[in-house]
Structure 1
Amino acid sequence: MKTMWDGLLSFLAAIATAIITGGPSWYTYQATEAGIAPKWALGFVFVLGGMGLILTVAFLRKAKGGISPTRDRKRRS
């Protein structure tokens, strides 16, 4: 039961990470395309989006393995 709960928590962490990093990245990209933000802001879009992608994939791997988001390994029963 703990493994399933830990997997769910990791899945929720993946969703939260995707939203937290994806939203600002998308809107900054849209602002640069509309001419509101300068073109050099695209560098920050790619850095933030890349970090968000890496973290989201890491949390999804933990969710698949049933590992809590704050742990490296599964809990002992």
Structure 2
Amino acid sequence: MQIFFDRAASFVAALLTCVVCGVPVWGTIAAARYGIMPPWAYIPAGLLALIGLVLTLAFVRKGLAGIAPTRQRRRRTG
């Protein structure tokens, strides 16, 4: 049962990472398109999107393996 909760926690962490990184990226890109921000704002937005993608994939990988987001390995059961 603990592995189920570890797996769920990793998937929730992946979802939160998408939201925390995706919303500022979307806002920055929208602002740059409408001329509110300078065109060079795409560079930090792209870097934040890349970091968010890497973290999201790491949490999804942990979720598929049944590893909690704050652990390196699976918990020992039994």
1:36 aligns with 2:64: no
Q: Distance in 2 between matches of 1:74 and 1:11?
A: 15
Q: Please report how far the alpha carbon of residue 16 of structure 1 lies from its aligned counterpart in structure 2 after TM superposition.
A: 0.2
Q: Distance in 2 between matches of 1:71 and 1:20?
A: 21
Runs of 5+ unmatched residues, structure 2: none
* Aligned length in residues: 77
1:7 aligns with 2:11: no
In the alignment, which residue of structure 2 is the partner of 1:55?
55
Q: Please report how far the alpha carbon of residue 76 of structure 1 lies from its aligned counterpart in structure 2 after TM superposition.
A: 0.8
Matching residue's letter, 2:23: G
In the alignment, which residue of structure 2 is the partner of 1:16?
16
Where do 4+ consecutive residues of structure 1 move more than 2 Å?
Answer: none
In the alignment, which residue of structure 2 is the partner of 1:45?
45
Q: Distance in 2 between matches of 1:50 and 1:30?
A: 17
Q: TM-score, normalised on structure 2?
A: 0.97
Identity %: 44
In the alignment, which residue of structure 2 is the partner of 1:71?
71
RMSD over aligned Cα atoms:
0.4
Runs of 5+ unmatched residues, structure 1: none
**Alpha-carbon displacement from aligned partner over 1:24-71 (angstroms, at most 9, x marks no partner):** 001100100100001111101100000000000000000011000000
